Structures are given as C-alpha cells and as structure tokens.
Structure 1
C-alpha cells in the first residue's frame, strides 16, 4: 500500500466504522465518487477496509473509538490482517505511529488469551452463543472460521449441463475448482475468477450460490409438475435451484416485499431458461394475493429474514450492525411469516423453514414455538432427506451448517410435513 492508498482507505474507514450502513454499500458509493481509481487501488483499499473489520476487536483494544482515528485503524489492519510487518509499514508512518504499531504487535499473547479478541466477535454475540451452550473453544473456532473470506461456490443448472462435465471444463481452463462435498450441483472455485463474463455463466449453465443455500433448495424435494412457493425469494438463488429441480414444469411462485430484488431475478430466470417461475411483489406476509394458494402448495420454502450471523465470512460488519434488540424484533417477524407461509401447504405437502443464522432463538426455538401453536405437522429428519449427501456429525432432525466444519455459510433448516 502506498501513501495515497492509505489516505483513501482512511477516508473510507471514517464512514464504514460508524456501521450506519453495510460496508459494501459504503465502499461502492465511495468508489463511485473516486472514479479515477484503478482496479489495483480499489483492491488495496477494499482489502484493508475488510481487514480492519475482521480484526476490529483487537484494534478496539488499542483504539477504543477507531472511527475517530481511521488512519491508525488502517495501519493496524495492515499489520494484524494483511501480514505486513511494522518495518514494511514504516514508510507510511511517522515515529509515533510506528511505536504504536510496535505496541499493537506486542499485544499478540494478550489478544490470544481474551475471548473477544481471539474469536473477533462482539460481546453481545459471545453471550448469545454462551447462552445456547457453546464453550469458549467452540466460540473461538467459530469466530476464526468466519474471519476467512469465503471461496466462490457456483451451482450447475441441471437443465443445461452436468456437474462432472462442467467441472472438467473449468479445470481444463486452468481454474482451481472442485466438486462441493454435500451439494450434488455445486462447484467450488478458489481463485474467484470474473465469472460474470464467463460463457458458462452468460449461457445460464452456472449460477453463483453458496453450497449451504443449494442444500436448502435440495431439502424442498420439489418435483416436476408441482406447485411450489419460495416465500421470501430475495434475488432468487434458491428459486432458480428449485425451478431446475422441477425441470421447468409446474408453477413456482417467488414472493418478496422488495421489487428491486425480484427485478434482479428476472434476467437470471432468462439465462437459466426457466419459464415456470412467477415473481410476485407482496406488501407483507398477509397480502391478499397470497390467499389464492391456501392449502394448494406441494412445497413452501421460508428463508426467513434473520440476523445473518451465519454469513459473517461475507459480511463481517454485520456483527457490529446487529444487536440483541434487533433480533427480538426479527423473532416476531419470523413467527408471523412462518405462520402465514404454513397456511399455503396442502395436506401431505412440505414446509421448509430456514435462516442464515447460527442462533437457536431464530432456529430451533422458532420451530418449537410453531409446533406448539400448530398441530398436524410432522418433523422430517434432515438426514433421511439428504440421503447420499448426509453431512458428517449432524445431530438431531435439523440441518445446522457450521462454517468451520462444513465450509459453507451457517444455514439452518427444518423440514415439516403437513399430515392433516
């Protein structure tokens, strides 16, 4: 990093570290203002900003209000997160800053012995994990696992290709790629190529989707000719996977409250060659337009709005933008959405409740609440549904993916069958 890049990083961090907006949104706006920056400059700035967020607990120990001293925060991120020695950063520092960096490095053993800095998790999240029975070692392992940037997972559109052939073609191009261990459709790319310009992406053969998200679609078990609903569809990653499982037949309704997210889905549908998907914006989970599907759906997927604590590899700032108060608000919303979605399922049909969270309050406890209020539902053990794709050491009837163990985002899923 050169001096100009450090100054720009400092300017970006002054905004990012207030955590009023998502870090990627702030950076995108920052780069739009700094239009003359080249690709290398943008990469250096972005990597240092995210290194700052990933090591913020350590930085805060030395710098209690880092957003007020973003230059020092950036220098600390170079040393703590990007592997640059104090000597290597010397040309960017004055003598006082250099001594401060030396002091930061000397705290290495203290950082390792304190759980918040060892795990790089805020106190509120540590307390949540402790309340659900995690010990300090489990918390530290989890925290370290989500500090690592995620690889790029893609899903092969089975309407347009077979995974083995596509994987071989990618490897023949010299890309580091391997089959995902749990999803039968997934390929993991390790060097993050510019996939949006790749012919296989442009032709709809490949779609970017985390392996954990692919497994949620797999759990729906949707088949040709059925009526299915993706109740909180977002931009449609799981919708597209379900559409491919249905071989483009039947009817798949994609509901969401955000018109923009649904609009982003439409070009993806065209690329994928799927004509059985029907996007529909709704005002909320009680929208009258949903009522026509009551008791008619063979399968309903509810990927509920949640804290996102399973996605910290991709969104490390989220743990500083969330709080216990936010989660309590989410719990009410999740219960309302799950109840409304369940009313669309026909007798004998399937309901899949999912979150991208590791917090039991959003997961198992929500299922317990639903089952206590609703008779006539049977829990389907996830192990039997995944068959040959069973995950190692999976306990209980639910799916709970752990980034450290499964190398996916931390998704949760429960599958219920309506028996009357």
Structure 2
C-alpha cells in the first residue's frame, strides 16, 4: 500500500472506532476488537500495512484529548480526516506540505483536502502538541472526570503518573513454576533470541523492554511462560495460596491469576476458577492445559446458582479480582480513557460491593479474602475497603508489610501503607490495588 492508501485505511478505521467505541451512542466495544473485525473484513491488507494503519489510528487514539483541544481551538470538529491530519502535524512532526500531500485524491488514497481543511492545516502547522493554554485534562491527557480522584491520590506526582500512563508498557512474563523456574525460563527465551531481565519485585517475573510476539515461541507453547504484568503477579503472590488449600478465583476471567496460584500450590489442593462468562472460562481451559495445571476446575456463575451457598465457609483463599474501570491499564488500552465514563464508575463501585459480600461468604474461619482491581481510583480501592470493613466486622486487614516480609524475605515492599498500591509512574507496573483480609477463627 502507498502512504496515501494507508492513510485512507486509517481514516476508515478511525470512523469505525468513533461509531462503535467513542460516540455517546456507541456500543463502546474495546478498540482492539473493533480493529480486529475491521482487518478481518479487509484481508487484502497485508501484515506490514496492517501494522502501519494500526499505528496511524492508535496514535490518534492515544492523543485524542489533545487533538480535540487543538481542533476546537481553531473551530473545527474532530472528523477522522482532521484527526489524522492533526496527528501528522502535531505528534509525528510531518511538514505541512508533506501532510497535505498524503490527501492526494488518488484511487486508493483519501480525497484532497477542501478549503476548510487546508486552513486547519495552516493553523496547526508548527504548533506544539502540549500548549500552555490547555485545560488540565488536555495537558495531562486524562478525562475531566478522573482528575479530582487522581489528584487526591497522587498530589504533586500527578504529572509524572499521567506521563507514565502515556508511555509504552513493557511486556512482562511470568515463569510457570510448574514447569520451570525464572532462570531457566530466561535461558529458554534467550535461546530463541528473546532477551529479558528479572522484574524488580515479582520473584517469578521477566521483563522485555518492548512488546513483541512471544506466543509463537517454544517457551510459550511449552508452557514455560505466561504473559502477565508484574503487578498482577504480585496480587497472586499476596494471595499466598499453598499446597493442599482450597482456593476460589471468584472473578477469574481468562484465569491469569488462577494459573499463578496453581503454581504456588504445586498442583496440590483444589482451585476453582469462577466467572460469569462462558467464553472467558473456555479460554481459561486452554491456558490451564498448556501450563500443566491439573488441580483446577471451572465454574460458571449464573443467576439462581446455588454453588456459592453450598460452599459457604469452605475456602482457605478467595480472590476477588473485581471488575473495574481499568484506569491502571490505560497505557496498554488507550481507548479505554475515551470509552469509560463517570456513570461506569458508579455502576462498578456498586457491583464491586455486591461481589465482595458474596465472595466473603465463601471464606472459612482463619481463611483470607483478597480484593484486587487494576484501577487507580480510590473509590474502587481504599474507599471500597472502608465500606466493606464497616459492615463486615468478621474480617480484619492483614498489613502489607507483614505479608511481604513472610513471602519475599530480605526485600522491602514495593510501596508503603497497609495495602498494595502500584502505579506505572512509581513502580513501573500497571496500576493495581490489593487488600488482604482475614476471617478470625
């Protein structure tokens, strides 16, 4: 494809993303799912061109709040064509003449710029992406509705955290202790030309400096490694699931933490991966087989299900990896900062509270309830714990320092405070929260 044809495809993809992800009436599907459908319907676009088109479109998505601000300042609506033009001029540093030339009106290229679009190009050319006149939202590249909560959490370090949420995330892997150890997994990757370094906090983690396809590697196919952010690994670590225990992963999804806990259990005991989605649990089955996990079962949670009532008070560990806004993963999912809305937060906080209450009933006396999110917002984290503990006097917090000292002797915890709180700017992980509560005997 010519540069113009790639630009035309990117404009078409941006239009579909707007319709299905970002518009007020949109279904708000994840952008990667929409893009997958887009390229599946255009199989004539080869791999290299697909990557180039995706980079065009994802560049716009990452900077959308700022690009919207610049276009509004010159009185222009953020159409897919103008967004791509603004991306080239403000982010990519393309000269005005070269940017305008992409809109060449050729058979496969985008139509030529009209007079209004040419005036927009003239107004945008030479401007800096971050303008002193910008609102805090545009300057920090964060939606207005999250700013008060993030400012309360991060204070003077908010700008650092906002920048980290824009940066490219590393690729973290977890060595599968059922099949190998970290050093052997690193050696297996190195033999395939994939260099890695140990993660600073997780004793199982390996970090690649940038994203690259590892699922085709022999190490991955052989179950030696799993793709899992270091922060997610630390949640599984703090669960402290041991051999012989009964463990419930109450919101298991595709079972990333189920896999990690099964490894710490040495395949001894029983772990149940629960979820409300049958497709997610089906995907979990494939991962469990590849990893060599044979002490796990799956359970589909459904309305009217009596499974939880029959097993009340019978689990040593119950992990609630709660559905949340996912604000801690925005560097990996930049579209989520555009799709997620204030009403979603209110709905999720209520859902988290409901799930916590149900999951708590599964914990036996002396057992532990582990609550986790991939959110940076206090409403979903500390405030959720305060609310739960205020009504659930049977549970007491297990301080992070006590847990960490027992599990990772000789190393200071990644953060201060009673709970595990991680962020891209402070620890280099995705944003996570984890609280461990114990039911007295």
Q: TM-score category by the smaller chain?
A: over 0.9
2:243 alignment partner, one of 224, 236, 239: 224
Contact 2:66 2:130 in 1 (8 A): no
Question: Given the alignment, which residue of 273, 282, 294 partners 2:312?
Answer: 294
1:146 equivalent to 2:147? Answer: no
* 2:90–2:127 Cα contact (<8 Å) kept: no
Alignment of 1:64-83 (within 5 A): 64=72, 69-83=79-93
Q: Offset at 1:177?
A: 1.3
Matched, 1:189 2:208: yes
The residue aligned with 2:7 is 6
Q: 221, 239, 250: which one pairs with 1:202?
A: 221
Which sits farther off after the overlay, 191-200 or 159-168?
191-200
Deviates further, 253-262 or 87-96: 87-96
Mark the CA change 1:86 to 1:401 in structure 2 (over 3 Å): closer, same or farther: farther
Corresponding residue for 1:281?
300
Contact 2:327 2:376 survives alignment (8 Å): yes
| Partners of 1:254 and 1:280 within 8 A in 2 | yes
- Residue of 35, 44, 60 corresponding to 1:36: 44
Counterpart secondary structure, 1:194: coil
Which of 95, 100, 103 is matched with 2:123 structurally? 103
Extract unaligned runs of 5+ from structure 2: 104-111
TM-score by length of 2: 0.89
SS in 2 for 1:400: strand
Structure 2 equivalent of residue 381 of structure 1:
399
Corresponding residue for residue 56 of structure 1: 64
1:175 equivalent in structure 2: 194
Q: Distance in 2 between matches of 1:219 and 1:409?
A: 16
CA distance in 1, matches of 2:435, 2:333: 24
CA offsets 1:23-54 (integer angstroms, 9 cap, x no match)? 11110110011111011111111112111111
> Contact conserved, 1:115 with 1:140, CA < 8 A, in 2?
no
What value does the CA root-mean-square deviation take over the aligned residues?
Answer: 2.1
2:379 paired residue among 361, 365, 369: 361
Report if aligned partners of 1:58, 1:111 keep a CA contact under 8 Å in 2. Answer: no
Change over 3 Å in CA distance of 1:296–1:66 after alignment to 2: farther
- Asked if 1:121 corresponds to 2:129, the answer is no
Task: Measure the CA separation in 2 of the matches of 1:152 and 1:367.
Answer: 30
Quote how far apart the aligned CAs of 1:316 are: 1.0
Q: Which moved more, 1:114-123 or 1:84-93?
A: 84-93
Offset, 1:175? 2.3
Offset at residue 82 of structure 1 (A): 4.0
Asked if the contact 1:348–1:419 (Cα under 8 Å) also holds between the matched residues in 2, the reply is yes
Judged with a 3 Å threshold, the aligned counterparts in structure 2 of structure 1 residues 82 and 150 are, in CA distance, closer, same or farther, namely: farther
Taking the aligned partners of 2:281 and 2:337, their CA distance within structure 1 comes to: 26
SS at match of 2:425: helix
**Separation in 1 of the partners of 2:78 and 2:11?**
10
> Structure 1 residues 134, 186: CA separation in 2 closer, same or farther (over 3 Å shift)?
closer
Superposed displacement of residue 108, structure 1:
4.0
CA change 1:102–1:114 in 2 (3 A) is farther
SS in structure 1 at match of 2:166: coil
Q: Which residue of 2 aligns with 1:418?
A: 439
Residues 288-367 of structure 1: pairs in structure 2 closer than 5 A: 288-367=306-385
- Provide structure 1 residue ranges, at least 5 long, that are not aligned to the other structure: none
How big is the shift at 1:190? 2.3
The range that moved more, 56-65 or 181-190, is: 56-65
Q: How many residues align?
A: 416
Q: In structure 2, how many angstroms separate the alpha carbons of the residues matched to 1:363 and 1:113? A: 30
C-alpha separation between the residues in 2 aligned to 1:164 and 1:79?
A: 46
Which residue of the partner structure matches residue 398 of structure 1? 419
Change (3 A) 1:12 1:254: same
Shift of residue 86, structure 1, vs aligned partner: 4.0
Instruction: Please report how far the alpha carbon of residue 170 of structure 1 lies from its aligned counterpart in structure 2 after TM superposition.
Output: 2.3
Q: Tell me the secondary structure at the aligned position of residue 419 of structure 1.
A: coil
With structure 1 as the length reference, what TM-score do the two structures score? Answer: 0.93
